[in-house]
Amino acid sequence: MTPDEAMERLNTVMAHAWMIRTFLKHAEEIQDDEELLSVPRTIFDCIRAVEPSYQRKDAKEYLLRAGGKLAKLRRVATLFAAEHKRVSDHTNFQMAAQSLTGCVREIEEILAAAKANSLGSSASAETTEPEISDKMK
């Protein structure tokens, strides 16, 4: 997967995460729970961190920033999945927890595929470089 393809796929996943954030931001059930309020705030922070690089179509920076925010996003996804039942076990909260966990998993997979492609490209460049110099002799 090229960096540009990864950026586009990640941006779609971020759009899904934004909808989870919007649901949680307006959910009365969590308004008095500082711990759970960290979930929509962290999602907001993650998306806003990658937004400028997406607007510039700078895939390298986008991937770097998304990777840098992944641990925080993973932490709040785990927290929300474990703790949402304290405030509500309604289907909306269950689906939001499952969806956020799925977003994190998808982000991990996309970043891993982009990294593997990057590593494969640099390894390919390294192996062809000596071949070129051999032909010049």
Per-residue pLDDT tens digits for 43-75 = 999 999 999 999 999 999 999 999 999 999 999
Element (DSSP H or E) covering residue 56: helix 34-56
Q: What is the pTM of this model?
A: 0.84
Please count the structural domains in the chain: 1
Q: Please, what's the b/e burial string for 89-107 (b: 16 or more CB within 10 A of its CB; e: otherwise)?
A: eeeebeebbebbeebbebb
The whole-angstrom separation of Cα 103 and Cα 83 is 18
Among 59, 58, 60, 45, smallest CA distance to 14 is for 45
Domain span at residue 87 reads 3-136
What pLDDT is recorded for position 96? Answer: 97
Q: What is the CATH number of the domain that holds 119?
A: 1.20.1440
* Low pLDDT (below 50) residues in the chain: 125-137
CB atoms under 10 Å from CB of 13, counted, come to 18
The whole-angstrom separation of Cα 66 and Cα 85 is 28
Q: Which amino acid is at 31?
A: Q
Instruction: Report CA 24 to chain centroid distance, whole Å.
Output: 18
What pLDDT is recorded for position 135? Answer: 43
